[in-house]
A and B are shown apart, each in its own frame.
Chain A
Amino acid sequence: MSEAPVGLNSTVSATHRDAAPPRPLWQVIFVRPETLTFVLLVLAIFAGGQLSPYFLDIRYILDSFTLTAELSLLALILTLVIIAGEIDLSPASAMALSACLFAYAMSFDWPMWICVSIGIGSGLIMGAINSALIIGLQLPSIIVTIGTLTLYRGLAQVIAGDKSIRVPEWYIGIDKVQVLGLPAPDLIFILAAIALAFLLGMTVWGRQIYQTGTNETAAIYAGIRTRRIKAVLFLATGVTASIAGMIFISRLGSVRYDLGLGGELQMVLMAMLGGTYIFGGRGTILGTFLAALLLSVISTGMTTANLLPATQLCVLGVLLVLSIIATNFIYSRTQR
């Protein structure tokens, strides 16, 4: 027990009394959940190539992504909702209902702008119902959107019955359209990701979404209109759901009430796998973007290798648990 170390300690703590030492730059850049997602993506591509000789074909991988592009698009906007401290489980059902209405309108040969207005309008109304219940009546979003998840799906079944509604030939095949060497749905997803990443990362509005999710009370005292932010996010989710539905119909050529059944879980999975914190305040568009690619690569790789769906479910489950552990570990080490 010499005096020297104590003296040294006290000097150190005196100099840095107000703040913990700043994290080294390399840590800020690399120790984050997205890094894990990226590493997994690289590993998954490698593993896919090992599992089947038919997998490593960039054309095929890009084409396969169109199968999940609609849900991935919705996962991007859902990421913002989760960062703002809420959840929306209804987009997959909203997508089905809006798509049924859109296809139903088209079956009457109405002008295109009317059909599109009906599609987008229904998405807007469904978003408005969600926000009215959650923000207007101050109900928990998880309960409200489980309710509307069932309600929207039910309405879709009332409208479409068990039959499928077909759309005209000219409307079919958006996934066959190549723009800049990419299938159109892939490109839409990439552009949406860039736009939302800019919005979330570079604008005041984006900072306000993070603050709303981190501590709503503090955000309100700081003059942020958190209710307005959340309302806009729920409306945007509704509209995105209807756009995703239109892409989906063009790819399938027809729509039934069970379009994207269970899709909400895939969307939440993408957000979680990308490092979005389920209690809000943390997460990035980049993470969800990488996770969407990761999920597509994993399922395509395993399906191409003719692996049993049971194996696929196990792999996805393990990945999700792993990523949640990693996300929580990283966030607990890097102070809030």
Chain B
Amino acid sequence: MLKKTVLAGLALGFGLMASAAMAASNFKVVYIGKNTGNPYFDSITGGFVDACKKIGCEFEFVAPATAEATSQIPFIEAQIQRGVNVIAIAPNSPDAMNQVLDKARAKGILVLTVNGDIVGSEGHRDANILPVDFTKTGPNQVELMGSMIGYKGEIAILSATTEAPDQNTWIAAMKKTLAENPKYKDMKLVATVYGDDQPEKSTTEMEALLSNYPNLVGVIAPTTVGIAAGAQVVKSRGIANKVHVTGLGLPSEMRDFVKDGTVSAFQLWSPYNEGWLAAYFADGVLNGKIKNTVGTKFDVPSLGSITILEKNVMNTQAELTTFDKANIDKFNF
């Protein structure tokens, strides 16, 4: 009897899978990455793959060997020829692809920029998907730092280069948050140093911070190179319980530091959700369920309500994702 039930269940399962496979010809979507061999894109691809299983689309990932400005053009041409319905792309150039993207759109293909945009050429794509509203990054990072040091003591920032636009925006927001929010009145930012996103320079700058500011209790490194270098320094000096390091990091690079307790938590966004949102958005637009105009709101499973912002930009999450011992094994980028 039990055997029969199991068999029936299996049969039902297969039936469901078959019907899901039938729906798989719904539409064809391709994601063109910046270049091959970049684990960050594997995560975005994972989001596409899982979403396509749910909503029934055919997905493929392609990418050129190098991230040079024109290297994606042959790939876009090929996808137009293949007759895909959606081209999602992490653009290598803000404008070298304008002509070929126009060609794709003229053929009725939905063009999405995912994880990066063609700034200044927004008219040449239909919509843009970014992981997070970058104005939240600064306040999120300050809150995480505060929670680690009991909202008290001297802190410093270890950034990328002095000109890095994203980092500078975040640092400005951190300073503003520290100055204006009374919750952080006992936290004092004593220095901002620049490791130029090079491991050696970041290590040297971190060492210098430790000797110049003996009372330092925390370092925020809003760059993946900086946080890894900073964590390595406190780990080898054995002072992780005195100086807390956090910032923006890649789970794959930070996993060991989190597991051995050097870094209790750090943040980033989920590239996986970008692929997930892009697939659901494409499905909605192609099937007439979502109107691609500024201000439209729609629901995406597990992400909640998404709003199309100015210039047709969408964010997958309002706040940064915090990685710690409990969840870090779930992320592989």
A interface residues, Cβ below 8 angstroms from B: 52, 54-55, 57, 60, 63-64, 67, 164, 166, 172-173, 251-254, 256, 258-262, 299-300, 303-304, 306, 308-310, 312-313
Contacts of B68 in A (CB 8 A): 258, 261-262
B interface residues, Cβ below 8 angstroms from A: 30, 36, 60, 62-66, 68-70, 73-75, 77-78, 81-83, 93-96, 98-99
Give the docked Cα–Cα distance between A308 and B95 (Å): 25
CB distance from A233 to the nearest CB of B (A): 28
CB distance from B259 to the nearest CB of A (A): 33
Contacts of A63 in B (CB 8 A): 77
CB distance from A29 to the nearest CB of B (A): 35
11 new A-B contacts, CB < 8 A, other than A256-B93, A303-B78, A308-B36, are A54-B83, A64-B77, A166-B95, A173-B99, A254-B96, A299-B74, A300-B77, A300-B78, A304-B81, A306-B60, A313-B65
Q: Are A309 and B81 in contact (CB under 8 A)?
A: no
Contacts of A57 in B (CB 8 A): 81
Give the docked Cα–Cα distance between A308 and B63 (Å): 8
Contacts of B77 in A (CB 8 A): 63-64, 67, 300, 303
Q: Are B74 and A252 in contact (CB under 8 A)?
A: no
Q: Are A54 and B82 in contact (CB under 8 A)?
A: yes
Chain B residue with Cβ nearest A251? B99
Q: Are A253 and B95 in contact (CB under 8 A)?
A: yes
Give the docked Cα–Cα distance between A300 and B94 (Å): 24
Chain A residue with Cβ nearest B94? A164
CB distance from A67 to the nearest CB of B (A): 6
Partner of A67, one of B62, B63, B66, B74: B74
Give the docked Cα–Cα distance between A256 and B201 (Å): 29
Q: Are B83 and A259 in contact (CB under 8 A)?
A: no
Contacts of B82 in A (CB 8 A): 52, 54, 304, 306
Contacts of A67 in B (CB 8 A): 73-74, 77
Chain A residue with Cβ nearest B73? A67
Q: Are A309 and B74 in contact (CB under 8 A)?
A: no
CB distance from B117 to the nearest CB of A (A): 15
Q: Are A252 and B96 in contact (CB under 8 A)?
A: yes
CB distance from B184 to the nearest CB of A (A): 36
CB distance from B324 to the nearest CB of A (A): 36
Chain A residue with Cβ nearest B37? A310
Contacts of B95 in A (CB 8 A): 164, 166, 253-254
Q: Are A254 and B98 in contact (CB under 8 A)?
A: yes
Partner of B75, one of A251, A303, A310: A303
Can you pick out 8 interface pairs between chain A and chain B where the beta carbons lie within 8 Å of each other?
A: A164-B96, A252-B70, A253-B95, A260-B70, A303-B62, A306-B30, A309-B64, A309-B65
Give the docked Cα–Cα distance between A254 and B101 (Å): 14
Query: Which one of A54, A164, A252, A256 has the greatest number of beta carbons of chain B within 10 Å?
Result: A252
Partner of B99, one of A172, A300, A306: A172
CB distance from A168 to the nearest CB of B (A): 13
Contact of A309 with B99 at beta-carbon distance under 8 Å, contacts A60-B81, A67-B77, A252-B70 already known: no
Contact of A253 with B81 at beta-carbon distance under 8 Å, contacts A258-B69, A309-B63, A313-B65 already known: no
Chain B residue with Cβ nearest A68? B74
Give the docked Cα–Cα distance between A304 and B83 (Å): 11
Chain B residue with Cβ nearest A53? B82
Contacts of A313 in B (CB 8 A): 65
Chain B residue with Cβ nearest A313? B65
CB distance from B108 to the nearest CB of A (A): 16
Q: Are B93 and A64 in contact (CB under 8 A)?
A: no
Partner of A256, one of B30, B63, B96: B96
Q: Are B36 and A309 in contact (CB under 8 A)?
A: yes
Chain A residue with Cβ nearest B68? A261
Contact of A310 with B96 at beta-carbon distance under 8 Å, contacts A67-B74, A303-B75 already known: no
Chain A residue with Cβ nearest B62? A306
CB distance from A277 to the nearest CB of B (A): 29
CB distance from B1 to the nearest CB of A (A): 48
Contacts of A172 in B (CB 8 A): 99
Give the docked Cα–Cα distance between A63 and B77 (Å): 9
Give the docked Cα–Cα distance between A254 and B124 (Å): 14
Give the docked Cα–Cα distance between A55 and B77 (Å): 11
Give the docked Cα–Cα distance between A256 and B93 (Å): 9
Contact of A64 with B65 at beta-carbon distance under 8 Å, contacts A52-B82, A57-B81 already known: no
Q: Are B78 and A253 in contact (CB under 8 A)?
A: no
Contacts of B66 in A (CB 8 A): 262
